[in-house]
Chain A
Amino acid sequence: MRSERSSWGLRVAAYLGVAFLHIPLLLIILYAFTSEDRTYTFPPPGLTLKWFGVAFARQDMWAALWLSVRVATVATLIALALGAMVAAAMARARFRGKDSISLLITLPIALPGIVTGIALLSSIKRAGLEPGLATIVIGHATFCIVTVYNNVVARLRRLSPSQLEASQDLGARPFQTFRYVLLPHLATALLAGGLLAFALSFDEVIVTTFTAGAEQTLPIWLFGELFKPRQRPVTNVVAILVMLVTLLPILLSQRLTQGHEEMDGAGKST
């Protein structure tokens, strides 16, 4: 298939591009182990694991991490429920202005976070809500819904209506059709959308700064730590943690949707 070898220049350019994207990340990992705590001299004068101990001893870090996990979990659950329902409604209904509604649903992810943040803040104040866990969750849910919605809508488009008809025809009540036919069809789409939503919420900064009030999610805590001169490598340790928590779900969700497409392709081949 790929018998042609790409030219030297092209290959070098490709490697440079990948390096450009990933060297900063590698530096973060490297400087989590440096023995020197104020400046980033290269190469690091020595390597140590002590910053992990320092970071894990910080109570405020654990509080921020726990808040982020709770926010991401609740926002993801809300996104799953609302995103799947609106996807189901949009897939079945035909009405005037359907395209505009679809655009309105997906807009929050395209909208600059600063705009969403300001809009939410003024709404929260007007509604007389106290900024805190609930308002952070609401803010994150606005764009988390989009990832679930997009995944589920795409999957529903591949569902032949006769599947649901066949289930009903064979005696399945509406809930049984949902349980045995619709849900298995959507399962990986829901999982993929949910994992992406979780990752998006977990590292969100801009919208959160407007809706969090005095609360600190992990990214905001991290941002604050950057301006403290001492114990700099602690932020790098936490950054590795954030990378792991967000990267793993994204990798997993990619694998899940890929597997499904292959299966569908095989089914359609005849």
Chain B
Amino acid sequence: MTATLTPPSIPSLAVELRGLVCTFGTVKSGTVKSGTVKFGTVNAVDHVDLEIRAGEFYSLLGPSGSGKTTCLRLIGGFERPTAGQIRLFGQDVTGQPPYARDVNTVFQDYALFPHMSVLDNVAYALTVRGVDKATRNKRAGELLELVKLSAFASRRPAQLSGGQRQRVALARALVNTPKLLLLDEPLGALDLKLREAMQTELRSIQQSLGITFIYVTHDQGEVLSMSDRVAVFRDGRIEQEGTPQDLYEYPRTAFVADFVGGANVLPGALVGRVGGRFALRPERVEVSADGPGLNASITSVHYLGAQTRLELDANGVSIHALIASSRKFTPGQTVNLRWDAADLRPLED
């Protein structure tokens, strides 16, 4: 691994997953547990090893069905692993039910209790712990202040907007100051403007409280801007793990290169190497109407505002490039492509 941002001292670990497997479907009794794929079953999580440090904002990124949400549900205790171990802050919690774990979750659909007021929703974790009413209402009030919803304490969840519900869910999950907060695509249902505002807010709340956040999403843009570290999931396994810079600058596989930020995956022969495949970010491709370089023809032009995206064809390989919109190109035009050899990232097969 390319260690660009390794902290000098390793703080204590919040989460350790060891050889975690979660199998869905019917397992025939007497099946030999040697292989990872059994007939009629799917390993939603397939031998995942993961370490998350205390205080980190850690993201699990991947397309739907890649195992990231199952992984989160295993940490929360909503799914039982078929094999492997889950340790939270040094303690083995593998067989523990959700209520015994010092972990709270912000659910994708928020899961607010419709028959309770906003205040009672937020105070719920204290209510079930037998905290007296005055204390828990005071604490819940503080949390509502944190998410700027003090004026809505007596409302029902149905009377709130999506963004407000999302913040109530956050306040409810933070009221008993858990050591670890799990967030399952919490911004998925919000519109773009609100999502961006909430990203900033989530990050600042996480930093001011010092709580470890594990954040599940399929939105790579969200992940890059918020996370300390990211694990990219594919088919139940972790394809690559690292800081957002690591993943963007040094993708190890074609999948990561494409999923995080989008990249050209080019065969070695095309770029003057002996073999293998290489990732090249579209913004690092220089396009010029003449001069030296790889000959390519423009197949289409997409105007994106500040930038323009060009789809190109070079000897049958499709390449895309991002260029400043001030430069004009037309489809069908023949151009030359150049890049800095240092921007080519060798990919594993």
Query: Which A residues have a C-beta under 8 Å from some C-beta of B?
Result: 160, 162-163, 165-173, 176, 180-181, 184-185, 263-264, 266-267, 270
**Contact indicator A165/B78 (Cβ below 8 Å):** yes
In B95-131, the 8 Å CB interface with A consists of 97-99, 103-105, 107-109, 111-115, 124-125, 127-129
Residues of B within 8 A of A270 (CB): 161-162
A270–B98 alpha-carbon span in the complex (Å): 29
A100–B157 alpha-carbon span in the complex (Å): 38
In B164-186, the 8 Å CB interface with A consists of 172-173, 176
A167–B98 alpha-carbon span in the complex (Å): 9
20 contacts between A and B (CB under 8 A): A162-B108, A165-B76, A165-B78, A165-B98, A165-B111, A167-B113, A167-B128, A168-B77, A169-B103, A170-B173, A171-B125, A171-B176, A172-B124, A173-B128, A176-B128, A180-B124, A180-B128, A185-B115, A264-B114, A270-B162
The 10 residue pairs across chains A and B that have the minimum distance between CB atoms: A166-B111, A162-B111, A170-B125, A168-B98, A172-B128, A267-B158, A184-B115, A162-B107, A266-B158, A176-B128
Q: Which residue in chain B gives the minimum CB-CB distance to A270? A: B162
Q: Which residue in chain A gives the minimum CB-CB distance to B120? A: A180
Residues of B within 8 A of A176 (CB): 128
**Contact indicator B111/A163 (Cβ below 8 Å):** yes
Shortest distance in angstroms between B200's beta carbon and chain A's nearest beta carbon?
23
Q: Assuming A163-B111, A169-B98, A263-B158, what are 8 further A-B pairs, CB within 8 angstroms? A: A166-B113, A167-B128, A168-B77, A169-B173, A170-B173, A171-B99, A173-B99, A184-B115
A171–B101 alpha-carbon span in the complex (Å): 8
Most chain B CB atoms below 10 A, which of A163, A166, A167, A264: A166
A166–B158 alpha-carbon span in the complex (Å): 17
Shortest distance in angstroms between B140's beta carbon and chain A's nearest beta carbon?
12
**Contact indicator A165/B107 (Cβ below 8 Å):** yes
Number of residues from B at the complex interface, CB < 8 A: 29
A10–B263 alpha-carbon span in the complex (Å): 69
Shortest distance in angstroms between A26's beta carbon and chain B's nearest beta carbon?
41
**Contact indicator A168/B111 (Cβ below 8 Å):** no
A263–B157 alpha-carbon span in the complex (Å): 11
Residues of A within 8 A of B172 (CB): 170
User: Given A160-B111, A263-B114, A267-B114, are A167 and B124 neighbors across the interface (CB < 8 Å)?
Assistant: yes
A168 interface neighbour in B99, B129, B158, B161, Cβ under 8 Å: B99
A172–B162 alpha-carbon span in the complex (Å): 25
In B75-107, the 8 Å CB interface with A consists of 76-78, 97-99, 103-105, 107
Residues of A within 8 A of B111 (CB): 160, 162-163, 165-166
A160 interface neighbour in B77, B104, B109, B173, Cβ under 8 Å: B109
A1–B251 alpha-carbon span in the complex (Å): 60
Q: Which residue in chain A gives the minimum CB-CB distance to B158? A: A267
Residues of B within 8 A of A184 (CB): 113, 115
Residues of A within 8 A of B78 (CB): 165, 169
Most chain B CB atoms below 10 A, which of A160, A171, A266: A171
User: Given A176-B128, A180-B128, A270-B161, are A162 and B109 neighbors across the interface (CB < 8 Å)?
Assistant: yes
User: Given A166-B105, A267-B158, are A171 and B113 neighbors across the interface (CB < 8 Å)?
Assistant: no
Residues of A within 8 A of B125 (CB): 170-171
Shortest distance in angstroms between B304's beta carbon and chain A's nearest beta carbon?
30
A149–B322 alpha-carbon span in the complex (Å): 61
Residues of B within 8 A of A162 (CB): 107-109, 111
A167–B107 alpha-carbon span in the complex (Å): 11
A266–B176 alpha-carbon span in the complex (Å): 30
User: Given A168-B99, A169-B105, A180-B128, are A163 and B158 neighbors across the interface (CB < 8 Å)?
Assistant: no
Residues of A within 8 A of B173 (CB): 169-170
A211–B105 alpha-carbon span in the complex (Å): 54
A180 interface neighbour in B76, B127, B162, Cβ under 8 Å: B127
A158–B79 alpha-carbon span in the complex (Å): 22
Shortest distance in angstroms between A40's beta carbon and chain B's nearest beta carbon?
52
Q: Which residue in chain A gives the minimum CB-CB distance to B98? A: A168
Residues of B within 8 A of A163 (CB): 111, 113
Residues of B within 8 A of A263 (CB): 114, 158
Residues of B within 8 A of A165 (CB): 76, 78, 98, 105, 107, 111
Residues of B within 8 A of A180 (CB): 113, 124, 127-128
Residues of A within 8 A of B76 (CB): 165, 169
